[in-house]
Amino acid sequence: MFLDTANINDINKYIKTGILKGVTTNPTILLKENINRVQQIENILGTNTDLLFVQLIGATIEELYGDYEKLKNIKGSKKIAYKVPINLIGLEVVNKIKSDNPKTIVLGTAIYSADQGILAALAGCDYVAPYVNRMSNNNINPFEAISKMRSFYEDRELDCKILAASFKNTNQILDALEAGAHTCTIPADLFEQMANKDLALNAIKVFNNDGQKLDELTK
């Protein structure tokens, strides 16, 4: 799984679990930190995360590709993967990035349909990010779309993984994985909700209290 944040404290706290494979960001998430974009990217690269997804910014092919060229010159950029919003312009940008360096990891983002995800994979994306909650809010079945994408990728042996995004509750995460998503990127609050269940926390508290009583018996 990946952590969907640009907050250094959250990254340092949750990366220690060993579960998270990296961090995903976008301009909106980065803006919340109120720090210069490049500086915050460098700050995140300075943590123990293995991979950082950064979304390219621009409305044209030239602007998006220019942003890619700027980011790849950042110190530690070998840990950066590039998120490209998928439309006609985005598909061309993916092709240009892969032509520049086929080993560059590219994620097709802002995916709202199976056909869009299929085009992204055919263009060369290593990952696609369907927006689960946003799709649901627009009367689009995200789980059906994920299932169709997964079947298409496997039938044609495409090396593209579904990294589901945009969640409002943990049930959406589980449903996305069950539908065929290879992995997910989730905000810090939902990651904590997945791990810290009230029933489990209460049971642990009882066990620890009883453990202390056992220790007292040996004194």
Residues 46/34, Cβ–Cβ less than 8 Å: no
Residues 56/88, Cβ–Cβ less than 8 Å: no
CA distance 124 to 121: 5
User: Catalytic annotation on 72?
Assistant: no
| Single-letter amino acid code for the residue at 183 | T
Catalytic-labelled residue, pool 21, 75, 83, 161: 83
CA distance 121 to 142: 17
H or E stretch covering 118: helix 114-123
Residue 128 DSSP one-character state: E
Residues 45/22, Cβ–Cβ less than 8 Å: no
Q: Is 139 left (phi over 0), alpha (psi -120 to 50) or beta?
A: left
CA distance 187 to 113: 22
Structure tokens at 154: 């496997």
Q: Which of 142, 200, 135, 201 has the alpha carbon at shortest distance from 175?
A: 142
Rg (CA), the chain: 20
- Residues with a catalytic annotation lie at 83
